Amino acid sequence: MAEKEAQTKLDAKDEKGSDKKPIAYELAEKQREISIAEFFEKNRHLLGFDNKKKALLTAVKEAVDNSLDACEEAKVLPEISVEIIDMKNERFRIIIEDNGPGIIKKHVPNIFAKLLYGSKFHTMKQSRGQQGIGISAAALYGQLTTGKPIKIISRISPNDPAYLYELHINTQKNKPEILREEETQWKKDHGTKVELEIEATYQQGGQSVDNYLKQTAVVNPHATIIYTNPKPEQIIFARATNELPKEAKEIKPHPYGVEIGMLMKMMKSTESRTLQSFFSSEFSRVSSGVAKEICSKAGILPTFKPIETNRDQAERLIRAIRETKIIAPPTDCISPIGEELLQKGLKKEINAEFYCAVTRSPDVYRGNPFQVEAAIAYGGELPADKQVRIMRFANRVPLLYQQSACAVTESITSTSWKSYGLNQSQDSLPVGPAVIAVHIASVWAPFTSEAKEAIAHYPEIIKEIKLALQECGRKLAQYTSKKSKYSDELKKRGYIEKYIPFVGEALQSILGLKKSDEEIIEKILKELLEKSRGKLEELGEDNTEYDEDFAKIGKEEEPKEKEGEEENE
């Protein structure tokens, strides 16, 4: 090091021919590589650890999302336990345990103590995690704020032992440091248990762990979550279905979504020896015919070696891709919740009087398939004089922060809700007794930051959300217009009911009928009114069943004794 510095000084003298060292040399001494862990050590807010309240939510969310992903990948109905223990002085211990597939021993240190290490980043299929940073970020935050290591127990089968690890992250190197590694006894046949201690505060409300878990239960009706909060109280979110979500299949990238840098990288690392086979084997929806067409439009031979392509040729290939008609990517890489289950989930957690849900057909943004679902719960105990509550979800994960920065919010505020029975002032959220839920499922949910809190404003996504909201809105409008008609009718019914006894009495006296006829008239009027409940417009269509009662009017009086009996009563 000292030798290097001396050489730098010497170089400075040689170049200038004087002792005065250019400032750039001094500045150059400060240049050094920054490890990703050091970067996030300083920028923890980018990962959702910007305040103590949010830190608790983010840490729980990262672990629970991983558990749900792992269970689904292993086709196991998730049973997840979440425990938060108050250690006093703004410290909390978080314990998350799942019944998933467990993790192979050698991967445990990197998964939990190395940032940007994971199985989902390079995979094009819907999953909650995508970046490979979530759980190690939580471990890093715990280490920074409490100095305590993250503790993991994992087991992959009843025939394998369970392993216990305690890990620290070496932030300078972004590498795990193993503090403890041993075989252990564990009651579970397979699964993973993660234990963390972090500086945090616990609060209830819209952005709390409680609400995150409640909303998670809405969009994951196949999961059971047993939650013990710091009070401690136990809340069980029981599963509403035993059916696992449809498995999301992995797909290859679609040519429409690829940019020049990515294409060049792919061409450098491909094993294909010709451009034609490169395109048809590494992209979805590219047959050899389509691959040939791309090459010919770019003016390059299909037999050209991908590894030898230069920047200019890559640019021509990108242009050729845009000019070639290629069918949309397959959509079995997405697994939506479905209208029925979304409605079921909403009903389970929100007490309202009307529910509707819509699942749109899949669409594509930047070559990435995505699918939008929307649902509305209306009326019941929901407050009528406040702005509607919004529930945002991406790949079945509730998004609780950055509402105003989210494409979902923009889609809701730019939809006209007045025609669907809700009040709204321009460009704001509608007002009324409703909850609006929107779910975006995609192979790559485009978040605005690494903290995965808000969806970016892609026009294709906003358009689809608005279409889903409008479809739900129309269903809501049908219900609200029917409801206002019924309440109108109820008012009128009230008036009529009040006057029926007087009408009966008056008719009896005007027509000179018997006292018992008055009761029959009242009965007919009441039945007529009851019969037509909720369908005033149909009134009078069919009243033949009253003929029998009408026939009794003015006929023989009932036996005297019976009348007497009644009077005595």
Ligand X SMILES: Nc1ncnc2c1ncn2[C@@H]1O[C@H](COP(=O)(O)OP(=O)(O)OP(=O)(O)O)[C@@H](O)[C@H]1O
- Residues lying near Mg ion in the complex (CB under 5 A) are found at 66, 129, 134
Write out the binding residues for ligand X, residues 67-96 only, by CB under 6 A: 67, 70
- Least gap, CB of 417 to Mg ion (angstroms): 35
Which 3 state secondary structure label does DSSP give 163? strand
Cα angle, residue 226 at apex, residues 221 and 230 outer, rounded to 5°? 135
Say if CB 260 and CB 314 are below 8 A apart.
yes
DSSP 172: T
What single-letter DSSP state applies at residue 50? S
CA–CA separation, 214 and 348 (whole Å) = 10
**Of Mg ion, ligand X, none, which one does residue 111 interact with (CB within 5 to 8 Å by kind)?**
ligand X
Nearest distance from C-beta of residue 143 to ligand X, angstroms: 15
User: Which of residues 66 and 174 has its CB atom nearest to Mg ion in the complex?
Assistant: 66
Among residues 101 and 306, whose Cβ is nearest to ligand X? 101
Kindly state the DSSP code that residue 132 receives in the 8-state scheme: S
For residue 414, the minimal CB distance to ligand X (Å) is 29
Q: Which of residues 349-388 bind ligand X (CB under 6 A)?
A: none
Q: What are phi and psi of 440, to 5 degrees?
A: -115, 120
In the complex with ligand X, the residue whose CB is nearer, 66 or 331, is 66
Place of tokens 């300083």: 42
From start to end of 251-324, where are the E strands? Answer: none
**Complex with ligand X: residue 101 or 142, whichever CB lies closer:** 101
* Contact pick of 58, 136, 174, 424 for ligand X (by CB under 6 A): 136
C-beta of 67: minimal distance to ligand X in Å?
5
Q: Work out whether 143 is an interface residue with ligand X (CB under 6 A).
A: no
| 255 makes contact with ligand X (CB under 6 A) | no
Q: Which does 198 bind (CB under 5 to 8 A by kind): Mg ion, ligand X, none?
A: none
User: What does residue 64 show for φ and ψ, rounded to 5 degrees?
Assistant: -65, -45
Return the number of the residue (100 or 253) whose C-beta is nearest ligand X.
100
Nearer to ligand X, 132 or 142 (CB): 132
Contact present, 300 and 310 (Cβ < 8 Å): no
Q: What share of the chain is helix, strand, coil (3-state, %, to 5)?
A: 45, 20, 40
Choose between 35 and 324: whose C-beta lies nearer to ligand X: 35
For the CB of residue 160, give the shortest distance to ligand X in the complex, in Å.
Answer: 14
Give whichever of 334 and 382 is closer to ligand X, judged by the CB atom.
334
**Nearest CB to ligand X, comparing residues 129 and 245:** 129
98 binds ligand X (CB under 6 A): yes
Indicate the pairing of strand 91-98 with strand 191-199.
antiparallel
**Residue 232, preceding peptide bond in cis (omega within 30° of 0):** yes
Instruction: Give me the least distance between CB of 135 and Mg ion, in Å please.
Output: 6
- Residues 178-197 touching ligand X, rule: CB under 6 A, are 192
Cβ at position 99, least distance to ligand X in Å = 10
The least CB distance from residue 121 to ligand X, in Å, is 6
**Is position 100 an interface residue for ligand X (rule: CB under 6 A)?**
yes
- Which residue type occupies 501? P
Nearest to 54 by CA among 452, 456, 455, 457: 452
Residue 111 in the binding site for ligand X (CB under 6 A): yes
Window 114 to 133, contacts with ligand X (CB under 6 A): 118-120, 129-133
Q: Taking the complex as a whole, how short is the minimal distance between the CB of residue 127 and ligand X, in angstroms?
A: 7
Provide φ and ψ at 232, rounded to 5°: -95, 135
134 is an interface residue for ligand X by CB under 6 A: yes
- Between CA 123 and CA 130, with CA 124 as vertex, the angle to 5 degrees is 65
Q: What is the DSSP string of 68-99?
A: HHHHHHTT---EEEEEEEE-STTEEEEEEEE-
65 and 398 in contact (C-beta within 8 Å)? no
Residues lying near ligand X in the complex (CB under 6 A) are found at: 62, 66-67, 70, 98, 100-101, 103, 111, 118-120, 129-136, 192
